[in-house]
Structure 1
Amino acid sequence: MSNSKRAIKAEDFTKLEVFSDPRFSPDGSTYSYVSTTINDKKEYESHLFFQHVNDSEAQQWTFGDVKNSNPRFSPDGKQVVFQSNRSGLPQLWILHTDGGEARQLTTFKNGAGKPNWSKDGKHIIFSASLEADDDVHSQKEQSKEERQKEAEEKKKQPLIINRLKYKSDANGFHSNKRSQLVLFDMEKETFTQLTSDDTDHGYLDISPDGNLVLFAGNLNKDADYELISDLFLLNRTTKDITKLTNGEGAYHNASFSPNGDKIASFGHEYVYDGATLNELYIFDVKTKERTCLSEEWDIQLGDAMIGDIKLGQSTTGPIWAKDEKHLFFIATDFGATGLYQVTLDSDLKLLYKDDNHVFGFSYDPGAETFILGINTPTNPCNFYQLNSESELKRLTNANATFLDEVSIAEPETLTVTADDGWEIQGWLLRPYGFEEGKKYPFVLEVHGGPHAMYGQAFFHEMQLLAAKGYVVLYTNPRGSHGYGQQFVDAVRSDYGGKDFTDLMSAVDYVLENYSFIDENRLGVTGGSYGGFMTNWIVGHTNRFKAAVTQRSISNWLSFYGVSDIGYFFTKWELGKHLMEDPEKLWNFSPLKYAENVETPLLILHGEKDFRCPIEQGEQLFVTLKHLRKNVEFVRFPDASHELSRSGKPEMRIERLNHIGRWFEKYL
């Protein structure tokens, strides 16, 4: 098959423009969004754009080698507050929509972010990282030199730890600072600290009358031992805080109805621990009565799609309709995400869903229209307007030049019947320049999570492997989102069981049905849970001739104590923690089966991965090397668990090149 377009390359993700966070202006005639790119310095930068819904071109609002995000229109549409690191740290800035330079609002020592307007436009509420004795009235941003000096001094001091939750993959080692809510008075230009408890406060919304601030957090004395996230109402006048929820679950994405008498929220009560599907709840503000609208549904609310070009956050709902009788939200179902509507009587209606990934939306109550952010398997992102007649109009043409010159493989959707009759969804990519009659090597990709989902979305790593001449298969074995509560829960306490046979059934299926796959040249790779599964596969079968395990779990016994989530995730997923049944944890550990490994194995791991710490890769490497197995270990400096998605671009390229090198050598 001839192809006039070139094959995709490892570094091509640096040429992509990635969109996020569409936001209608108050009158609905325009919208803003964030565009993230990688500049010539191989660093991420993000900028604010503004577009009239009737125009074909967007206007860029911010410039420079900086990161701008979280744009929020004032209620009158005349100003936009946003977050930017142009001064050195993330701070709040304000920009007039009719032009002019941005003005800095905050100079907090540790930065400020996630701004939102009060409904009357008189105040801006934001989050700031503060210590117990910090004064919001005298905050001063440090210079670059002052920050560097403080960081150097900190390195000389021992780290004293007295909390269970003392580190996270996202933020490293935690300090004594807490995320507090602060209010900025636009007229007086003064700051008021709204919260002060020794916990992190996540701002969600403010009531239409401006008196009640809705936030999420855990104010319990045992919060360090809990994974609870309750909803709270803070009275701005009295400073009284009222708990809205029952202290048994995790609630998020909550918002007031237009008249302020109700609150809608996603959440769940850990019925299936970390595999529990989100529910949609309505709370009565006065009576605190809770109603579940999603009790009869069997879909995951929100976006569970996994990918390697997702940068920036976008709204997934729930969002109130102007009549207060409907709510809108994104949900994950059968390899795709779509936009849904529900009444307060739980009448669910699909507004838009196709073979793609709806990653965010904005609602205009005036015209009853939506801006949808859509990512497809062959197009990284664009924005579309969905009108009240369900007609879709494309607004942007992102990455057009790139897509014109590069060949993108179209995935073929598969349904595989597992050995016990369960149906497993997957996708197959044919190699670049595919020719009938030829035999091609094959790579199986296994996603992380495990409670996540591959699907109808652009995935650079998959496209790269196809471009290098491999048939690529990626599937959603049980444990994945998108197929209901029983399916996503089925992997728990069965790691390496039916999930393993699901994957092998998928490999068997494609070998039987696609004659162009060379059964003697099979490879496998995956990260996180996918890394665990890669390790498990090579310890339980020798059918693969090459394997690459990434940011993996190899030993559940040590994972319990070294991972930022190990002390609870281990029991969530395996049914027991270290002190309860160490033998069970060892039986689930790929390291136990190291003597069985005959497949050449490449281990890729970030040195600052706190989710699956690098000692997991070290143990596997040392054991296999000691057994004189064919193994190689690549350590990525300063790389966290997010290496493949938002890590340093140069390290991301190195990682892809190592994967390509290993498969080229052995397949």
Structure 2
Amino acid sequence: MKAEQLPLLNSVSAPTVHPDASRAVVSVTRPDLDADAYVGQLWSIPFDSSQLPRRITRGFRDTAPAFSPDGRVLAFLRATAEGKPQLHIVEAAGGEPQAITEQKLGVTEFSWAPDSARIVFASRLPEEGRYGTVDGVGPGSEDARLVSSNQYRMNGVGYTQDKAVQLFVVEVPELGGEPAVTPAGRAAKDLKDEEVPGAKGIPAVVQITSGDVDHTGAVFSSDGRSVYFVAAGHEGHDADIASYIYKVPAAGGDAVLVPSGAEPQSVHAVRESRDGRHLFFTAQELGPRGLDFVARNTALYVMPAAGGEARVLSDVEQQDLSGTLEPDGPDAVLVLNSHRGSVELLKWAADGGSEVLLHGERVVLGAAAAADVVAVSFADASSHGDLGVLERGELRLLSDFSARLRNESTVREPHGFIADGADGYPVHGWLVLPDGPGPHPVLLNIHGGPFAQYSGTFFDEAQVYAEAGYAVLMCNPRGSAGYGQEHGSAIREAMGTVDMADVLAFLDGALAAFPALDSEAVGIMGGSYGGYLTAWTIAHEHRFKAAIVERGFLDPVSFTGSSDIGWFFGGEYTGGTLEQMLAQSPMAVVSKVRTPTLVIHSENDLRCPVEQGQRYFAALKAQGVESALLLFPGEDHELSRSGTPHHRKQRFEQILAWWAEKLPTAAA
């Protein structure tokens, strides 16, 4: 794959399955270089293999499809080239979509009521006078903000307390009805402004939450009378990262806390069973201070919906769960589990019974069930995203959205292997080889997180570098997710110790196992925590021809006051004293660096603020190390994953230009 082939990357959403179990609908989106944006539509995929998938909408960007429980209506989010996502509905059999929201800052998520007559949705509600609510008052002319809290902004969002996520309920209009017409001319002359109906026939909405905290993950109760959601509405919420389950009447009223456990928790998702007897939720335990998040796996819990003690269902030490808790049957849910570089699909019943529905060398992106059918969206080594259906424990493929990717570019399969560390610890990872016999220059890649994982599925970065003639190494050292909490917590207050030892052991193991690798031509690179470990490693190891430090966590001291998560993140990982921070700080050992280094950062990065990269670059320059600083305007911490297509392409071009100079190949 080449940088200019980014538009071939079709991403597939979690599916929604029609209640009659005949078909699923997914959104398929891709980067578009002409629009410099992400575009895509909804696709209907029949389970009958004699019928082909077909595109069923033609919006600029249509996402998040969901069938109504009665199967008559399909709801989804639609965004125009210049606008925010708004909630739309269309007849499930086909027709013209109708917008049913007109939120100033758009809609972020939604969920159907069991009666198929209402939808609860989430939207950021802007404070009056901000975010375009007053004509002529732009961002630079808004009133000053007086900040007195830790949690007042978020990467990719900006300020949060003046536009908290609120929940709204909207009645779904009859799709067969006559569209609303706005009075004009003589009919409108004598009407007061508040009497003029909306030009687009947008129905009224009822706001059911308030306050300056976000309200997310909203779902109706099985009887449709209440809405469950997740929020940090507890006293002292600004001093911890806990969040809890709340319940509010669907018609509006006071929200009440649903007690879910003794210790502070960070609740991720909640769902009542279809039979109304049980409440499932996923959460991380955070210790007595509500801040102990390091390498904490997310567990699945169940409790009586009427109230009672919550029981943990999953293996907290070994299983790290995610997903939206899709119902499967009257008292069971589907959930995803990160496991050794893959993401599995599991099913859990309220009585504790569980089964692995799908595992292997793939990443499950989402799943949904109807009747006895389970549809699964996934990625693997040869697909960036596709849909299949489970049959007798096997996955039958229903789509091929990566066909052009394979036909028009070269997709190389990762080779998985395990290297033994100096202390005997096994380090699991992958090698992606370029064409030809070698010897190939080597790029050692380090992932972010650190509690995250590489997988053996299609990864655009590895494919682009391999196309340019580089052997790409990726591993999950201690500190990574997917291998248990002990593996993940090994670097707490010890960053740059066993994690550096593991990535170097993996490099040495690969060089010994694969003769096609050139041990004299090795580069190192990584982003976020990967930027941290790259910067730390080149201060202690001088074997690399060059390095790339991207959006790095480079100075725990200044990170504390500049990052959106700086008030807790660095201290929990490095320890909170100045001595501990300096002992694990790349900035504190930057004087030892001799390796030519390209520093990449985004100007709007609030997670690892741009000052981290700027100061690191300035220190390298001051001591005469060959270095360069690549800055991207308008981008945040997610540039490499969801930045504008033009900037993502340019980033690849600049990275390849750096490696072509420092580690030349015939292809580069």
TM-score (norm 2): 0.90
- Specify the alignment match of 2:543 in structure 1: 543
Aligned to 2:280: 264
**Which of 428, 432, 435 is the aligned partner of 1:429?**
432
The one-letter code of the counterpart of 2:93 is: D
Shift of 1:420: 1.7
Aligned residue for 2:157?
171
Counterpart CA distance in 2 for 1:643 and 1:397 is: 27
| Inter-CA distance 175–300: structure 2 relative to 1 (3 Å threshold) | closer
Aligned to 1:370: 374
Change (3 A) 1:151 1:572: farther
Secondary structure of 2:52's match?
coil
Paired letter, 2:165: S
Checking the alignment, whether the CA contact within 8 Å between 2:120 and 2:219 is kept in structure 1 is no
Q: Encode CA deviations 1:497-527: one digit per residue, 9 max, x unaligned.
A: 0000001111111222222222211100000
Aligned to 1:225: 239
Q: 2:413 corresponds to which letter in structure 1? A: E
What is aligned with 2:48?
Answer: 54
What letter is aligned with 2:279?
I
Could you tell which deviates more after superposition, 51-60 or 119-128? 51-60
Matched, 1:602 2:622: no
Q: 1:157 to 1:180 in 2, by over 3 A?
A: closer
Task: Give the percent of matched residue pairs that are identical in Structure 1 and Structure 2.
Answer: 29
Q: Distance in 2 between matches of 1:107 and 1:328?
A: 33
Query: Residue 302 of structure 2 aligns with which residue?
Result: 282
Letter of the 1:603 partner, please give it.
V
- After the TM superposition, which residues 151-550 of structure 1 pair with which residues of structure 2 at under 5 Å, given as runs? 152=138, 154-155=140-141, 157-186=143-172, 189-236=203-250, 239-244=253-258, 245-246=260-261, 248-271=264-287, 272-295=292-315, 298-302=318-322, 316-324=323-331, 326-364=332-370, 366=371, 368-387=372-391, 389-431=392-434, 433-435=435-437, 438-550=438-550
Which segment drifts farther, 180-189 or 74-83?
A: 180-189
Where 2:503 maps in the other structure, the secondary structure is: helix
Deviation (angstroms), 1:373: 1.1
User: Structure 2 CA distance, aligned partners of 1:108 and 1:11?
Assistant: 35
1:121: how far off? 1.3
Which string of whole-angstrom CA distances, capped at 9 and with x for unpartnered residues, describes residues 213-271 of structure 1? Answer: 10100112322222111001213468243212347111122101112121111112124
Corresponding position: 1:14 with 2:40? no
State the number of aligned residues.
Answer: 626
Equivalent residue for 2:573? Answer: 573
Give the counterpart of 1:627 among 620, 623, 636.
623
1:642 is aligned to 638
Answer yes or no: is the 8 Å Cα contact 2:85–2:106 preserved in 1. yes
Structure 1 pair 249–516 and aligned structure 2 pair: CA distance change class (3 A): same
Mapped partners of 1:459, 1:384: distance in 2? 20
Greater CA drift, 593-602 or 44-53: 44-53
Q: How many angstroms does 1:60 deviate by? A: 1.6
SS in 2 for 1:623: helix
CA distance in 1, matches of 2:494, 2:415: 29
- What residue is the counterpart of 2:75 in the other structure? 81
Report the alpha carbon displacement of residue 48 of structure 1 after superposing the two structures with TM. Answer: 1.4
| Residue 534 of structure 1: how far off its partner (Å) | 0.7
Q: Which amino acid counterpart does residue 539 of structure 1 have in structure 2?
A: A
- Secondary structure in 2 matching 1:566: coil
Distance (whole Å) between structure 1 residues aligned to residue 128 and residue 588 of structure 2: 50
Aligned-partner residue type, residue 413 of structure 1? G
1:654 aligns with 2:650: yes
Shift of 1:460: 0.9
- Gap change, CA 1:456 and 1:61, over 3 Å in 2: same
1:322 aligned partner, one-letter code = G
Deviation for aligned residue 1:147: 7.3
TM-fit CA distance, 1:187: 5.8
Rounded Cα–Cα distance in structure 2 between residues aligned with 1:377 and 1:15: 15
Correspondence for 2:110 among 104, 110, 115: 115
Q: Give the stretch that moved more between structures: 207-216 or 66-75.
A: 66-75
Task: Note if contact 2:70-2:116 (Cα within 8 Å) is conserved in structure 1.
Answer: yes
Q: Give the aligned residue type for 1:321.
A: D
* Equivalent residues of 2:272, 2:280 under 8 A apart: yes
Query: What are the equivalent positions in structure 2 for 1:93-112 lying under 5 Å apart?
Result: 93-112=88-107
Task: Output the CA distance in 1 between the equivalents of 2:351 and 2:221.
Answer: 23
Task: In structure 1, give the amino acid aligned to 2:453.
Answer: M
The alpha-carbon deviation at position 42 of structure 1 amounts to 2.5
State the partner residue of 2:191. Answer: none
- Give per-residue Cα distances to partners, 1:565-624, cap 9 Å, x unaligned: 111001221122xxxx11221121111212211111000110111100110011111111
**1:153 and 1:410 mapped to 2: Cα distance?**
47
When residues 524 and 583 of structure 1 are mapped into structure 2, their CA distance, relative to the original with a 3 A threshold, is same
- Deviation at residue 530 of structure 1 after TM alignment: 0.2
Distance 1:150 1:499 in 2: 52
Question: 1-side partners of 2:482 and 2:496: how far apart?
Answer: 20
Determine if contact 1:277/1:300 at 8 Å carries over to the other structure: yes
Q: Which runs of 5+ in 1 are unaligned?
A: 1-7, 135-141, 303-315
* 1:126–1:203 CA contact under 8 A, matched in 2: no
- Cα deviation, residue 665, structure 1: 0.9
Change (3 A) 1:402 1:294: closer
Partner of 2:39: 45
Report deviation, 1:377.
1.8
Question: Quick one: which amino acid aligns to residue 434 of structure 1?
Answer: G
Note the alpha carbon deviations across 1:406-444, whole angstroms, 9 max, x for none. Answer: 22222111111112222110111111x222xx4221110
Larger mean Cα displacement after TM superposition, 20-29 or 241-250:
241-250
CA contact (8 A) 2:14 2:376 kept: no
Aligned with residue 34 of structure 1, among 19, 27, 35? 27
3-state DSSP of counterpart to 2:552: coil
Q: Which amino acid aligns with 2:212?
A: D
CA contact (8 A) 1:132 1:198 kept: no
Counterpart for residue 196 of structure 2? none
Q: Gaps (5+ residues) in structure 2?
A: 175-202, 664-668
SS of residue in 2 equivalent to 1:654: helix
The one of 47, 68, 81 equivalent to 2:62 is 68
Secondary structure of residue in 1 paired with 2:30: strand
Instruction: Give the partner amino acid of 2:99.
Output: Q
User: In the TM superposition, what is the alpha-carbon distance from 1:72 to its structure 2 partner?
Assistant: 1.7
Q: Is 2:548–2:599's contact at 8 Å kept on the other side of the alignment?
A: yes
Matching residue's letter, 1:379: S
Residues 370-414 of structure 1 deviation map (CA, whole Å, 9 limit, x = unaligned): 111121122212110102x11321110112123123222221111
SS of equivalent to 2:29: strand
Q: CA deviation at 1:297?
A: 5.7
Q: What is the one-letter code of the residue matched to 2:154?
A: S
How far apart, CA to CA, are the structure 1 residues paired with 2:523 and 2:96? 53
Question: In structure 2, how many angstroms separate the alpha carbons of the residues matched to 1:405 and 1:461?
Answer: 17
**RMSD over equivalenced CA pairs, Å:** 2.2
